Amino acid sequence: MSTVFSIIIAIAALFIGMQIFMVLKMKLKKGKSAPQLEGKAGRLVNSGERVLFYFYSPGCRACIPMTPVIKNLAKKNKNVFPVDVSRDMATAQKFGVMGTPSTVVIESGTIKEFLVGFQNEDKVRAFLA
């Protein structure tokens, strides 16, 4: 019985440790130069404008409430880019995204914010202001 309990505790500790590692690694990207990108997104980043990238995946439960909000903002704002990592893994890899949802704000070619997890609409709008 105690062996099973120890294994469960070890697995839980490993899972929590991996989550903490992922969040810390992404936070360390703050202040770094944005990766080189192609197309419209690359032109906006290179122009120094504030640009928001939202990385999500269709199977991500935390992404379900956030994705429609971001897609709606993207329709109204040329500086918002929703990125489905299942369709565009290359862009996610350039940013070093390790989990979804992830929100990255770039300004003047520098990563200003790199957040993991659900962000409410007010917070996302504040990033764009």
Domains of the chain are 2-128 (3.40.30.10)
pLDDT digits (tens, 9 = 90+) for 55-110: 999 999 999 999 999 999 999 999 999 999 999 999 999 999 988 999 999 999 99
Please tell me the predicted confidence (pLDDT) of residue 110: 95
Please tell me the predicted confidence (pLDDT) of residue 1: 60
pLDDT digits (tens, 9 = 90+) for 38-55: 999 999 999 999 999 999
Please tell me the predicted confidence (pLDDT) of residue 39: 92
Please tell me the predicted confidence (pLDDT) of residue 106: 96
Q: Which of these, 39, 29, 54, 56, lies nearest to 127 by C-alpha position?
A: 54
Q: pLDDT band at residue 29, thresholds of 50, 70 and 90?
A: confident
Please tell me the predicted confidence (pLDDT) of residue 15: 79
CA 118 and chain centroid, separation: 9
Beta bridge partners of 82: 54
Q: What's the rounded mean pLDDT across residues 22-49?
A: 87
Q: Which of these, 71, 59, 70, 75, lies nearest to 127 by C-alpha position?
A: 70
Please tell me the predicted confidence (pLDDT) of residue 47: 93
